[in-house]
Amino acid sequence: MKADYRYNPFTDKAEPVIKSELVKVPEVSPYIVRLEEVPQKTAPSSMRVAEVVIDESGTHEGSIFTEVAAFPASGEFFPDYYTSAEGDSSWNTGQILFNESEAGKMLRINYYGMGSIIWASDTAKDTEWYRDYGNGDDGEFAPEADVTISGVKNYTSVFVPQGVTVTIDKWAAIHCQEGFVNNGIITASGKGGAGGGYHGGGSGSNAGYPGASCVFFAGGTGGSNGSAGGAGGAAKSVIQDENTDYEEIFANNLYDTLNAGGGGGGGAWYQYVAGSGGSGGGYIKIIALRVINNGTIEANGNNGSGSTSSSNGGGGGGGGGLIHIIASQYDNSGTLIANAGSGGWGGKNGGSGAAGKVFTKITG
């Protein structure tokens, strides 16, 4: 039975919509994919099947497949509306059979959709959050010069060439329908919680200000007071806790609070300046069909600054941020790093930040 069947009673005609889907042919038999909707059977066919090739130079369209009404050979596809099941020559469920030579290939399928199938809804396209490749509304992202982005992005494909730096302002959740290729630098270093400033006062009587904190990342405390000036506190981060269910956290899309805390500033001796805390690293989340990283993706904490005198405390280092990569295929020959910042020099050196974390999930 069809659901959401698009029928106009005034013209007595079905009204299909244009659909475009990205699918992956199973690695093992049966080599069948199911579309989100029932494709309209027309002559000539309304379906267009093209291979999606993702390599170090970006995302490209490969070979075009040919529709057949029998078991498919290499380069062909067989829609189930040719089976004439239930005695209906246009009957179909949106299943397409491919030859075993196409196993594991990524394909772009364009067709006229006639509505979904109620009984097939449980086996329809996987909709788990970690397969959310987005709607592509932001188009292709291929910067030719340095650029800053932030927030939720929905790209069709991403290609960062060598020599280009993409700066992440605090956080970015990048959904990419096809290939995500980085040959340059993607950085959220120092874009997390702000470091605490120093606090001056006669005889170093005031403590340094604490670093900024966030939901999952605690800011470092300010340095203690004292005649020598307090050391900056280290930025702290619960991301070192291996028992935390990070996938559940990320699924809640709390991106704007996922920043590493900065270190606290040191206390100050009279008329001298103590060090300030370094800012923490930000948050980078990438969900794409395939990720190829030949460059650098980083979310480091900044170092704390030193004092102007050995009588004063150094600033604490910023905590490392978080990098989370989810992909059906993942190739990394580059650098993924979320280091903490070190403490600044002083009569009492600032404490180092807590290390950040890099997570990768291969969905297969």
* pLDDT value for 362: 83
Query: CA of 228: how far to CAs of 152, 195, 263, 275, 312, in Å?
Result: 46, 21, 19, 13, 5
Q: Fill in the amino acid letter for 353.
A: G
Q: At residue 122, does pLDDT exceed 80? A: no
SS3 310: coil
Q: How far apart are CA 185 and CA 195, in angstroms?
A: 24
Give me the helices (H) in the chain, please. 246-251
Q: How far apart are CA 103 and CA 68, in angstroms?
A: 18
Q: At residue 190, does pLDDT exceed 50? A: yes
Bridging pattern class, strands 17-24 and 140-141: unpaired
* pLDDT value for 234: 58
β-bridge partners, 64: 50
Q: At residue 75, does pLDDT exceed 90? A: yes
Bridging pattern class, strands 58-64 and 116-117: unpaired
CB neighbours of residue 218 within 10 Å: 21
Question: 127-131, 170-174, 324-328, 332-336: which has the minimum mean pLDDT?
Answer: 127-131
Q: What is the pLDDT of residues 7-51, one digit of tens each?
A: 555 555 667 788 888 888 988 889 999 888 888 888 778 899 999
Q: How far apart are CA 220 and CA 236, in angstroms?
A: 6
* pLDDT value for 32: 92
Q: What is the pLDDT of residues 218-252, one digit of tens each?
A: 566 666 655 455 566 655 554 444 455 556 656 66
Phi, psi dihedrals of residue 18, rounded to the nearest 5°: -75, 125
Query: CA of 24: how far to CAs of 49, 92, 170, 203, in Å?
Result: 12, 20, 33, 68
Region 263-283: what's the mean pLDDT?
72
Question: 24-38, 141-155, 252-266, 328-342: which has the minimum mean pLDDT?
Answer: 252-266
DSSP assignment of 42-89: -SS---EEEEEEEETTEEEEEEEPEE-SSS--TTEEEEGGGS-GGG-T
| Contact assessment for residue 357 and residue 280, using Cβ atoms and an 8 Å cutoff | no
Q: How far apart are CA 223 and CA 210, in angstroms?
A: 8
